Amino acid sequence: MKAIEITAPGAPDVLRLGQRPAPAPAAGEVLIRVHASGINRPDVLQRLGLYPVPSGASDIPGLEVAGVIEQGDPVALSEAGFKLGDRVCALVAGGGYAELCVAPLAQCLPVPKGLSLVEAASLPETFFTVWSNLFDRAHLGAGETLLIQGGSSGIGVTAIQLAKALGVTVLVTAGSDDKCAACLALGADHAINYRTQDFKDEVLRLTQGKGVDVILDMVAGSYVAREVECLAEDGRLVIIAVQGGVKSEFNAGLVLRRRLTVTGSTLRARSIAFKGAIAQACRRVVWPLIEAGRIKPVIHSTFDAADAGSAHALMESNQHVGKIVLTWGAA
């Protein structure tokens, strides 16, 4: 099969289209003929040599795919509500940038009705991440207020739409007025340009000094101190990436007095059972919202798989709004 390989740690041009043996599904797995592969920030970190591959995972990058089930145990497929030839999208621990990809059956979901395979490839990583962190970990509920750092990212556009569909007031930060406008168009109640405004001051102004109930943070570093200051009583800060650095200083007294929670998680190395539970929650709660048109995939750009380097360069430029997807038709 054709696959994108990381020839050495480095810039986007280290990605090369090569040949690999086709993987074989083990018990509890399916083989997917991949039509589209989503691109995510961890793929960039892996290419740079900053994100070690979990034990047992493919060294081929890529954490989400959409395509057609080509192989799998018919009995297990039937029990999961699938059959050979079904269109699915899946979260994987690696191997997504390839024509064929093995995925745990528990991490597969049907392509929502009305969506293309390109659109479906943009769903698993962001929706699994947002659901796990906002709703399972932070217990975000209807009537609460959420701040999303980086509202125009793939995670951000997902979090905006899902939180709004479930009755949450949404504030976001973004790096330009155009990106702020895009977030508002997706349903955000307020958008803060972090290059021209201090997000802490704006959050406190917009909430009449109360602060927000939950913050979804992809920055960490120096942001944490200001985030602690703009959390409401019993507020929850969830860190899912550390683009601003791993070291933070903050007022621990505020954590005590306001009964704050500072937490975080990564998804890639978690168990199949853990990810499977998220998949079932998404299938039960999120997929009907997508099929009803209340949540829509936001695709910024698609690239032929052979041009994966250009796709990574776009992601690193931070000029995109939404998801970037590789397609395998011309590879």
pLDDT of residue 179: 97
Rounded to the nearest integer, the mean pLDDT of the chain is 97
Residue 4 contacts residue 39 (beta carbons within 8 Å): no
HSE on the CB side for 152, CA within 13 Å?
Answer: 23
pLDDT of residue 329: 82
Residue 331 has pLDDT above 90, yes or no: no
Helix (H) or strand (E) holding 31: strand 29-39
- Estimate the crossing angle of helix 154-165 against helix 177-185, to 10 degrees: 30
pLDDT of residue 292: 97
**Percent of the chain whose pLDDT exceeds 70:** 99
Mean pLDDT value across residues 206-233: 97
Residue 59 has pLDDT above 60, yes or no: yes
**Beta 261-264 vs 87-91: how paired, if at all?**
unpaired
pLDDT band at 280 (very low <50, low <70, confident <90, very high): very high
pLDDT tens-digit readout, 81-115: 999 999 999 999 999 999 999 999 999 999 999 99
Residue 261 has pLDDT above 90, yes or no: yes
pLDDT tens-digit readout, 172-192: 999 999 999 999 999 999 999
DSSP for 188-250? -SEEEETTTS-HHHHHHHHTTT--EEEEEES--TTHHHHHHHTEEEEEEEEE---TT-S----
Distances in whole angstroms, Cα of residue 205 to Cα of each of 45, 103, 259: 36, 46, 21
In the three-class reduction of DSSP (H, G, I as helix; E, B as strand; rest coil), residue 299 is classed as strand
Residue 82 contacts residue 108 (beta carbons within 8 Å): yes
pLDDT tens-digit readout, 121-166: 999 999 999 999 999 999 999 999 999 999 999 999 999 999 999 9
pTM of the model: 0.95
